[in-house]
């Protein structure tokens, strides 16, 4: 967790992002445990999709596709 704290200090949120985070926290507080668990699983899935999309974009931009090994 120490690494997370260092990252938090290095990357500051904008005022809008901080407000959004507080609003999100309020929303989660109002959820039941079951709702929060379902939401967490959905969020994790979306994060995985986002990571895959970023990787594919970088592969495309850096031209690291399947033909890269043939060069």
5 phi and psi, to 5 degrees? -65, -40
Domain range for 20 is 2-70
pLDDT string in tens for the chain (71-residue length) = 455 656 666 789 999 999 999 999 999 999 999 999 999 999 999 999 999 999 999 998 898 865 554 44
Number of domains in the chain: 1
> What values do phi and psi take at 28, rounded to 5?
-65, -40
Q: What is the pTM of this model?
A: 0.62
Q: Which residue has the tokens 């850096």?
A: 62
Residues present in the chain in total: 71
- Widest pairwise Cα distance in the chain: 55
Q: CB under 8 Å to 36, separation ≥6 — which residues?
A: 28
Q: What is the CA radius of gyration of the chain?
A: 18
């Amino acid at each position: 967790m120490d690494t997370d704290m260092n990252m938090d200090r290095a990357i500051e949120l904008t005022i809008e992002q901080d407000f959004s985070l507080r609003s999100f926290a309020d929303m989660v507080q109002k959820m039941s445990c079951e709702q929060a668990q379902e939401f967490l699983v959905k969020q994790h899935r979306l994060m995985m999709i986002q990571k895959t999309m970023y990787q594919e974009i970088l592969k495309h931009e850096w031209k690291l596709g399947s033909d890269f090994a043939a060069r």
